[in-house]
Amino acid sequence: MTVPVLELSAIRAGYGRIDVLHGIDIALHAGDVFALLGPNGAGKSTTLAVACGAIVPSSGSLFLCGRDVTGCATDAVARAGVCLIPEGRGIFPNLTVGENLRMATFTGARYRDVVDRAFTQFPRLGERRRQTAGTLSGGEQQMLAMARALATDPAVLLIDELSMGLAPIIVEELYEHVRSIAASGLSILIVEQFAHEILGIADRAGIMLHGRLMHSGPPSSIADELAGAYLGGER
Amino acid sequence: MSLLSVDEVAVQFGGLLAVDGASLSVEAGAVTGLIGPNGAGKTTLFNVITGLQAPTRGRVLLGGADITRKRPYRRARLGIARTFQRLEAFGSLTARDNVRVALEMRRRWATASYDPVAVADSLLERVGIAGVAGTQVNSLPTGTARLVELARALATEPKVLLLDEPSSGLDEAETDALGALVRQLAAQGLGVLLVEHDMPLVMDTCSYINVLDFGRVIAEGTPAQIQADPSVQRAYLGTARSAP
Amino acid sequence: MTRRWTALLSAANALVLAVGIGGLVVHGVDGLSVILALVLAVPLAIMGLARARGRSVTSPPWSDAMAWSTMAVFALALCVPVYGGARSVRTSVGTVYYLHLPALLLMVALALPFATVFIASLRDLFVIRQPWLTLFVVAVTSALALSIGKAAWAGVPFTWENVLTMLAVALPFAGIYAMSASGLVVVYTTTGIFNFAQGAIGMLMAYVDWELVVNHGMPQWAAAPIVVLVVAPLFGIALDRAIMRHLQGQSLVVQLMVTIGLMFAFIALANMIWSQTDAHSLPHLFEGKGFHIQDVLLTWHRFITIVLAVLLAIGLRILLFRTRIGIAMRAVVDNRGLASLAGARSARLSSFAWALGCALAALAGILLAPETADMSTGGALTLLIITAFAAAVVGRLRSLPMTYLGALVLALVMQFSQTFLSFSDRWTNVIDVFPTIMLFVVLLLLPRAQLEFSRLNMVRRTERISSVRDTALGMTIVFGVMVFVSAFLSQTNLSRFAVGMCTAIVALSLVPLTGWAGQVSLAPLAFAGIGAVAYGRLDGAQSDVRGLVIATAACLIIGAYVSARMLMLRASTTALIAVLAGAFGFVAYLNAGSAVLAGVICVPVGAMLAFPAMRLQGLYLALATMAFASVVESLFFTQPFAVGVGELDVSRMKLFGFQFASERSFLLLVTAVFGLCAVGVVALRRSAFGRRLIALRDSEAASVTVGVNILETKLIVFSLSAGIAGFAGAFLAQEYGQLSAAKNFEMLSGLPIVLALVIGGTGYVSGALFAGMFGLGAILIQQTWHISLWKSLIYLAPGLAALGIIQNPQGAVHAIGEGMAWLLPWRHDAKREREELVEATSEQEVGSLGLEHAFTDADVLLIDRELGITNDVARAVS
């Protein structure tokens, strides 16, 4: 088997002295889509924060293509090809759409390529090129966040709750885009609450509870566990 | 008449409607649940009730009296207490002093029969953390610090207690103990509004549940009704093609 | 609604502008003045229009519309004097009143920006949209401006020539202010650090330029670009690498104190290199030559300054909106974390911002130096920072156009006042202090701050609260040492020590306020000054029965209030304390009441400062207190009821018939007073009120939800702090023996006290004692060392000490003390803690191995290559 593109190994991490994650192991291979599901406060977002270098784990290691990059700065990890679309809108609200895309050129891409690619993929953004990003609708903002992330030509895409605060129909549209991105061979680690949408796209999925990865495997094996984890009944 | 009622409250941040005409009520002596997916507006609603956030429209009534325009500390003195989703304990004070701050706001004068330190300690014991009374809260684990917040809220001698995800950071045994404590508090006549993601806890504890999605109450009913409600499933799991 | 209102205003203003210009043309005034009016008004009008179109989602369209209308009125006011001026040549003295009208109109125009911000803040507070309120505010502001104008009118005819003369000075100064302020804003938005040393950096660079031009004979056209484009940016980058980068994430008071310390250090550095016994002056560009506009000389220097400021505005605009690094700097303002996720190197951005900030500081410094006669290191160049603050705050430390507007308004108002108004006697300093007044007013008008939630990642050291008994013991030891030491001191040294102890009490006043409640105040010495004056004034009135009643009543009330509100005692105990306090007031009044009363008088003043504290937070509050201190310094002491013109003699107090006339007895008295205050402060920390203050600092949001009234609590702590500082001031006054308007209580001298307290530890009595000794050291150096080089140490020492804070932001003295406490036999807890600490650190070393290694570019390349390969593989597969 090849070396995973992104690997979290026995990660314990948290905020200050408080550990939120208690030993997380995730290996993401090239072209994989891994869905991380689970209720709030389970530690999903923290896992992504560790994966993009924003939080240095208190123990365990982060590997990129087999290289230990634990403790590296966020911008260094970003330039190495790991891109996070954070929870809430991952955009700069007071910058225009064009300027937001300009921010994607730090990883070496040319501005023209970035814009071309973004506007062919999301034509709606092209129409609003000079508009301030904060005045876009929620769905458009998420599209901009995705366009900005993809423009950097990342090897790994980390997506945190794409659906948050959006109407189901828009979420569906966004996931169509995710599906096409996944088809292009990008490795994606995605955190979600709208489980059924994502399970159709993911190659593998895991359920997080209380800072631990409880179940993980192909989506079909996960689906049955889900309702229990979310709406309860048994522990 | 309900102990606490929220009447058609809406909160707008810029172009975003965080809460969109939500109404619910909390009865004395019962635990009311408030659940919903991330970003549904639960914490914003809590902030409106406690006065940390002014609503764009709508009213908040306590015991029938309109408190929408009252300042937060007044509401606290009228009997609304809360805990926070993101920890807001007084980190550089000890657990005991956290509780004492709240106690000292309630009663200005000491009497022969009233020893604040003893009362604080008994409150800490009640939430099950008497052992850490002298420890600075910054050095406590999250779950324990949340219980300090709970004890602090109880120290204000509230009529209504708002709990924002009290179980996160607690293990299973502690969560069970918390559930028992919440039920016991309600049995003593307190009205409890519980925001929680741990569904077993919600289902066991609450007698009535409101489900919030996109700032609206999309469903309400008893735990059994809520678990069976397809719109709730949809809110949590997305379009349920293969709903179990 | 607001959009329509904006459009309406815009239309009205366009009309006004058109009428104004039309009037100019009809009356056949020469083309040059028309062009000047247009040059001034049009760009700002365009700016207003552009912003009113709603490009920014956060700024209220109101403020833009108002800014624009202001400019239009301003342009009109400029047009009218040309019209009137043309007539005044022909008419008699009777037209003078008529000629005032345009001048007054101009004043109204200048006052309107205040109204703008005020309305904007009201709107944020109450969501008010009624136009009548706008009219009301505009009317009140105008009336105020008009009445000041009438009262202080100097009688200079308001002719076109005079206006032009005023503009020829005001515009270049506006440019200089704007340059300095832009540097401040760029650095603050990008790195989050508010640079108090901005002015001092400009001063230092002006001296470098002087060295090149005057000492080495280099022409200015070569020297200035070298300094601005090479030396200053390098200096900025070095500053960022060496110091500023390590300041990110530190508490505000630490950040502020480091840059304040640096300001002093730069002054010292300049003093050491360029001896201040010689006069320095930088020549004007083109030796003061220039060209005439209607008989008014505009020197090339000033012309170039204006042109540079305009070019700079354009350049900054292009930089921030057209270049990637500029866009990244704006992106950082929006969302720092996301910018770094996007791969923007925050380290590089911050270096760039500092380089730019220093270059702007240098430019402002070099252009200002020839304009002011005073090139002294601590003078106008360094104090440019205060003007820059005021201008930057108008732009809320974010918006550069508004910063430029602020600079323009400031310069115009100052030059207008200098040309057409005259202030004398008690108001002599009004013009000098105008930037601070404007700073204060604008700050008060800012929208109310949100309630603060706790900052999770702020991990504090375990705080051990000293017991009252320990403190009492410690203070007894201090007193004992002082009894012993004082026996060997000369008269002058005794009085120096006494000043040191008084300073310690001043510093102690900040312990509850800054150390516990987390409110940064830079004004402790101002309160001491008020206390000193109060003591001086009360001193002669001891037999007054009214005073006796007041003193007793005040003590009674305070005693009852303190015991009820803060100590949470039983009712009977409270009554007893109140009675005891009253008795103390009685006795104290008979003997030494003035000192107590001096403290009491400061209480309401401090309470006044608590109201801005309710609205403002953090940096804004610190700036407001600084402005307050500056206003007290310049306007309070000159009032006849304070010190006035002459000097105020102060005599030593009497206690139970004993007068502390000898220096030694007075030193011991002050030491004892410090000890008592210290014990009181520690007792307060252990009281309910102390806990409430800490709670407030840790989380305001949680405090209100348990029922803490924030206003009341802040009111009490500000009053208390002011009271202690005023009390200390009473003793300082006795030590000095004589008070005059100009000395001893300057805003700048107060800063080292705060700095020293931060070094010692803001939350601790020991920190205050350290601050006192620090002050004593400074006095000793200043007065006894005769080598001028070493005199710089009084400035350099705070600067160097500030660097030390980075290592130990919690305060050194207490930390060292606690670190050594395990040596004391009775401190078992300290011993246990130390053992745990040793264990923990040895454990940590194993655990943290390999966690902090540097991620080199080679690593990035390697990973990039590896990832590239896997990507290709992945694509091939799909």
pLDDT of C285-299, one tens digit each?
777 777 877 777 888
| Neighbors of chain B with 3 or more C-beta pairs under 8 Å | A, C
Q: How far apart are alpha carbons C598 and C730 in whole angstroms?
A: 6
Q: Which residues contact C539 (CB under 8 A, 6 or more apart)?
A: C594, C650, C651
Look-up: residue for tokens 């959009």?
Answer: C3
The answer to whether the CB atoms of B116 and C568 lie below 8 A apart is yes
Select from A16, A163, A232 the Cβ nearest to the Cβ of B202: A232
> Does pLDDT of C60 surpass 90?
no
Q: What is the mean pLDDT of chain C?
A: 72
> Residue B241: its pLDDT value, please?
40
Distance from CA of C51 to the nearest CA of A (A): 13
> Does pLDDT of C348 surpass 90?
no
Phi then psi dihedrals of residue C6, to 5 deg = -60, -45
> Which one-letter DSSP state was computed for residue A87?
S
> Residue C30: its pLDDT value, please?
42
> Does pLDDT of B66 surpass 80?
yes
C867 near A64, Cβ under 8 Å?
Answer: yes
Top pLDDT among C445 and C137 is at C445
The single-letter code of the amino acid at C316 is L
Sheet containing B80-82: give its strands across: B80-82, B160-164, B191-195, B31-35, B208-213, B216-221
Select from C337, C457, C871 the Cβ nearest to the Cβ of A16: C457
- How many whole angstroms from its chain centre is CA C216? 37
Residue C360's pLDDT band (boundaries 50, 70, 90)? very high
Greatest extent of chain C over all pairs of C-alpha atoms, in Å: 100
> Residue C575: its pLDDT value, please?
64
B221 near B45, Cβ under 8 Å?
Answer: no
Nearest Cα residue in chain A from C348: A75
Within chain B, where are the H helices?
A: 42-50, 72-78, 95-106, 116-126, 142-155, 172-187, 199-205, 223-228, 230-237
Least confident of C211-220, C318-327, C589-598: C589-598
In whole angstroms, how large is the CA radius of gyration of chain B? Answer: 18
> Does pLDDT of C479 surpass 70?
yes
Residue C492's pLDDT band (boundaries 50, 70, 90)? confident
Top pLDDT among C129 and B242 is at C129
> Does pLDDT of C788 surpass 80?
no
Q: How far apart are alpha carbons A228 and A215 in whole angstroms?
A: 12
If 0-12 CB within 10 Å is exposed, 13-18 middle and 19+ buried, where does residue C862 land?
middle
Top pLDDT among C636 and C356 is at C356
Top pLDDT among C89 and B207 is at B207
Over residues A222-234, the mean pLDDT reads 61
CA atoms within 13 A on the CB side of B206: 30
> Residue C551: its pLDDT value, please?
58
Over residues C222-231, the mean pLDDT reads 91
Residue numbers in A near B14 (CB within 8 A): 134
Look-up: residue for tokens 């650090």?
Answer: C193
Q: How far apart are alpha carbons C579 and C566 in whole angstroms?
A: 17
CA atoms within 13 A on the CB side of B241: 9
CA atoms within 13 A on the CB side of C469: 0
Nearest Cα residue in chain A from C54: A132
If 0-12 CB within 10 Å is exposed, 13-18 middle and 19+ buried, where does residue C840 land?
exposed
> Does pLDDT of C543 surpass 50?
no
Top pLDDT among A71 and B110 is at A71
Structure-token pair, residue C467 = 């017991």
Identify the top-confidence range among A149-163, C508-522, C548-562: C508-522
Q: Given CB atoms, is B225 within the 8 Å cutoff of chain A?
A: no
The answer to whether the CB atoms of B38 and A196 lie below 8 A apart is no
The answer to whether the CB atoms of A69 and C847 lie below 8 A apart is no
Identify the top-confidence range among B10-19, B216-225, C66-75, C767-776: B216-225
CA atoms within 13 A on the CB side of A142: 22
Q: Given CB atoms, is A73 within the 8 Å cutoff of chain C?
A: yes
> Residue B69: its pLDDT value, please?
85
Residue C84's pLDDT band (boundaries 50, 70, 90)? very low
The answer to whether the CB atoms of A226 and B16 lie below 8 A apart is no
> Does pLDDT of C455 surpass 90?
no
> Residue C839: its pLDDT value, please?
55
Over residues C262-287, the mean pLDDT reads 81
Residue numbers in B near C570 (CB within 8 A): 109-112
> Residue C796: its pLDDT value, please?
64
Over residues C415-444, the mean pLDDT reads 79
pLDDT in tens, A2-20: 778 888 888 888 765 567 7
> Does pLDDT of A137 surpass 90?
no
C169 near C134, Cβ under 8 Å?
Answer: no
Over residues C705-734, the mean pLDDT reads 84
> Residue C101: its pLDDT value, please?
53
> Residue C61: its pLDDT value, please?
47
> Residue C123: its pLDDT value, please?
47
Least confident of B162-166, C87-91, C204-208: C87-91
> Residue C95: its pLDDT value, please?
36
Over residues C286-314, the mean pLDDT reads 84
The answer to whether the CB atoms of B73 and C456 lie below 8 A apart is no
Residue A219's pLDDT band (boundaries 50, 70, 90)? confident
> Residue A172: its pLDDT value, please?
80
Distance from CA of B187 to the nearest CA of A (A): 23
The answer to whether the CB atoms of B243 and A227 lie below 8 A apart is yes
Select from C462, C697, C707 the Cβ nearest to the Cβ of B105: C707
Q: In chain C, pLDDT over 70 holds for what percent of residues?
A: 59
Over residues C822-844, the mean pLDDT reads 58
Select from C338, C343, C345 the Cβ nearest to the Cβ of A92: C338
In sequence order, the β-bridge partners of residue C322 are none
Distance from CA of A225 to the nearest CA of C (A): 31
> Residue C116: its pLDDT value, please?
57
3-state SS, C190-244, equals HHCCCCCCHHHHHHHHHHHHHHHHHHCCCCHHHHHHHHHHHHHHHHHHHHHHHCH
Identify the top-confidence range among A215-229, C282-296, C598-612, C655-669: C655-669
Q: What is the mean pLDDT of chain B?
A: 85
Distance from CA of A6 to the nearest CA of C (A): 10
Q: How far apart are alpha carbons A20 and A13 in whole angstroms?
A: 6
Select from C335, C340, C851 the Cβ nearest to the Cβ of A74: C340
Q: In chain A, pLDDT over 70 holds for what percent of residues?
A: 89
Nearest Cα residue in chain B from A224: B244
Select from C56, C448, C456, C705 the residue whose CB has the most chain B CBs within 10 Å, as the one to mutate to test that interface.
C705
Least confident of C7-16, C85-94, C468-477, C645-654: C85-94
Q: How far apart are alpha carbons C188 and C452 in whole angstroms?
A: 21
Look-up: residue for tokens 């136009």?
Answer: C131
The answer to whether the CB atoms of A80 and C334 lie below 8 A apart is no
B152 near B175, Cβ under 8 Å?
Answer: no
> Does pLDDT of C524 surpass 80?
yes
pLDDT in tens, C150-162: 677 766 776 777 7
Over residues C217-244, the mean pLDDT reads 90
Select from B14, B88, B111 the Cβ nearest to the Cβ of C701: B88
Residue numbers in C near A185 (CB within 8 A): 871, 874-875, 877-878
Q: In chain C, pLDDT over 90 holds for what percent of residues?
A: 11
Residue C460's pLDDT band (boundaries 50, 70, 90)? very low
Closest residue by Cα to residue B146 from C265, C520, C702:
C702
Identify the top-confidence range among B64-68, B140-144, C456-460: B64-68
| Model confidence pTM above 0.80 | no
Task: List residues of chain B with CB under 8 Å from any CB of chain C.
Answer: 14, 50-52, 71-73, 76-77, 80-82, 84, 86-93, 97-98, 100-102, 104-106, 108-112, 116, 136, 138-139, 149, 152-153, 155-156
Q: How far apart are alpha carbons C409 and C395 in whole angstroms?
A: 12
> Residue C450: its pLDDT value, please?
63
Q: How far apart are alpha carbons C623 and C750 in whole angstroms?
A: 13
Least confident of A165-179, B61-75, C90-104, C257-271: C90-104
> Residue B229: its pLDDT value, please?
83
> Does pLDDT of B54 surpass 70?
yes
Over residues C781-809, the mean pLDDT reads 61
Residue B96's pLDDT band (boundaries 50, 70, 90)? very high
Over residues C28-36, the mean pLDDT reads 44
Distance from CA of C374 to the nearest CA of A (A): 43
The answer to whether the CB atoms of C324 and A102 lie below 8 A apart is yes
The single-letter code of the amino acid at B177 is A
> Residue C844: its pLDDT value, please?
35
Nearest Cα residue in chain C from B108: C568
Q: How far apart are alpha carbons C484 and C486 in whole angstroms?
A: 6
Residue C801's pLDDT band (boundaries 50, 70, 90)? low
Within C243-379, where are the H helices?
A: 252-273, 300-322, 324-334, 336-341, 346-368
Residue A56's pLDDT band (boundaries 50, 70, 90)? confident
> Residue C530: its pLDDT value, please?
85
Burial state string for C414-432 with b = 16 or more CB within 10 A and e = fewer than 16: bbbbbbbbebeebbbbbbe
Least confident of A121-135, B43-57, C111-125, C718-732: C111-125
Over residues C699-711, the mean pLDDT reads 87
